Structures are given as C-alpha cells and as structure tokens.
Amino acid sequence: MGRELVLLLLKKGARVAAVDINSDTLQETLSLSGDKNKLVSAHVLDITDQAAVAALPDQVIAAHGVVDGVINNAGIIQPFVRINDLEYEAINRVLNINLYGLIYMTKAFLPHLLKRPEAHIINISSMGGFLPVPGQTIYGASKAAVKLFTEGLNSELLDSNVRVTVVFPGAIETNITVNSGVAIPGSAGDAESSGMSALPADKAAEIIVDGIEKDSYRILVGSDAKLMDFISRLSPERAAKFIYKQMKSLLPA
C-alpha cells in the first residue's frame, strides 16, 4: 500500500520521499516510478531508531526543499497466537514499529510542518484498531493506540495549519504477512484478507489520497471496514463475536 501511495502521489505531481527499511523493495518502487523518478528520493531507515528518524527531516528537506505532509504507513502484524503464547520479543517488535516508530516520525517532522502554510499528517491505523481480532491482540492494541494518538494530535492542532487524518484499512492486498515474517495457518494470502475479500492496494491508495485532499478526519478503506465500523458502533460485542467466528480457524488449537 505504501508503494501504491508513492506512485499515485507522483502521478498527481507531488514530490515524494520514500522511506523503507528494505533497500531492495525501495529500489523496486523507484524503478516503477518511471519518468517520475526525479521527483522521488529514497531513504533506507529503521523507524524504530529514534536518532535515525530525528535526522530524517533534514535529509528530506535537502532533497526536496520543504516537507508538506507525512504518511505513516509502516506496520507489521504479530504471529497468529494467543497472548499467553506470544513471546515478548514479538510483542516489543510490533509495538516498536506500529506505535513508537509512528510517534518518532510524527515528532521529527511536526516542527517543520508547523512552519508550512498548509500541511498534513496521515496515520494508518487498521480495522483491527477498533475491532478485536483473536490472535492479533497486540497488533490491535498498537493500532488502537495509533487511532487515539492521531485523534488527540488532531485536537491539539485544530488551531494550526496542520491537518491530521487517521485511516482504517480493512482487508487489503498487501505483503504485510511476508514483511512481518508471519505465516498464516492454512492460508497463502495476507493476514488482513484472510476470510474476507481484499481490496487491491492501488484502490486503497486512491481512497486514502482522496481523503487527504478532502482533509477528512477519518478514512475507512474498503466495504468491510465501513460495515464493521457500523456494526461495532451498533453492537460492539456482536461485532467481536462475528470476527471471532471468521478468524478463529487461524488460531492454534
């Protein structure tokens, strides 16, 4: 989804600083940018490295002159196991990437965004950030934290020039399972698409960018995210039981 966001923004004429911990996939994105490659800079970075993230804004500004927006898209899932069986190493890795990395990026770029006439911060949460998924409890906790962090930041910046948007993707065709190093029992697909019809990543990118252009407070990506958002508001327990029935087969016996 991050790659599709880069390509769509380039298509719309934006300059883009693409950030990834994986240099190979970053280079693939640059290759796909075609004749727009002069508008994109590549930055290999571990967002859990606070010092490295703190140095990133100067690198981006050196490449592009200014920075007007940040999309915090990086995220991983956890192994599909119950909390009782989840190792602390996996817990820390999910929280460090999904939450602390996002906070580091926000803190690093916010002072620069506040100097711009208009700017935007977009944080990618998840349908799992408002709906409990068995076997993804730490992942869900991290994305729920992203939700409230983003909403709180929005309130803090209401009288500023910086707009803030939280995004809730449903099932999206991405490589999150591979990037997370997680195997899905009995499935070759993406974890967030298991048991559900997944939305192509390029369509998800279009929905997100459209929401950014409209300064949306929140963006629900996919019919499943919209449906489960409605059901979870109407009856949280019913929604939780529905998802449990859909996903319980992924849990070890």
- What is the percent of the chain where pLDDT is above 90? 87
Residue pLDDT, tens place only, 155-175: 999 999 999 999 999 999 977
The correct CATH number of 69-250 out of 3.40.640.10, 3.40.50.1820, 3.40.50.10490, 3.40.50.720 is 3.40.50.720
Confidence (pLDDT) at 253? 73
Give the mean pLDDT of 128-140.
96
Q: Does the pLDDT value for residue 247 go beyond 70?
A: yes
Residue pLDDT, tens place only, 199-237: 999 999 999 999 999 999 999 999 999 999 999 999 999
Confidence (pLDDT) at 188? 37
Among candidates 43, 34, 42, which has minimal Cα distance to 11? 34
CA distance 220 to 214: 14
Alpha-carbon distances of 221 from 8, 39, 100, 139, 208, rounded to whole Å? 16, 27, 23, 18, 7
In this prediction, residue 141 has a pLDDT band, given cuts at 50, 70 and 90, of: very high
Q: Please name the helix (run of DSSP H) or strand (run of DSSP E) that holds residue 129, with its range, or none.
A: none
Across all residues in the chain, what is the average pLDDT? 93
Give the mean pLDDT of 72-99.
97
Confidence (pLDDT) at 178? 62
Here the tokens at position 177 are: 């399972």
- What is the percent of the chain where pLDDT is above 70? 92
Q: Which residues contact 206 (CB under 8 A, 6 or more apart)?
A: 8
CA distance 167 to 230: 15
**Options 88, 104, 139, 217, the catalytic residue:** 139
Residues 84-99, buried b or exposed e (16+ Cβ, 10 A)? eebeeebbebbbbbbb
Q: Does the pLDDT value for residue 191 go beyond 60?
A: no
Pair 123, 150: CB distance under 8 Å: yes
Pair 1, 198: CB distance under 8 Å: no
Sketch the domain layout of the chain as residue ranges: 69-250
Give the Cα-Cα-Cα angle 195, 90, 97 (nearest 5 degrees): 85
Here the tokens at position 173 are: 């065709």
Active site residue 139: yes
Torsions phi, psi of 120, nearest 5? Answer: -150, 140
CA torsion, points 219, 151, 96, 77, in degrees to nearest 10?
-30
CA distance 176 to 99: 16
CA distance 136 to 81: 7
Confidence (pLDDT) at 181? 65
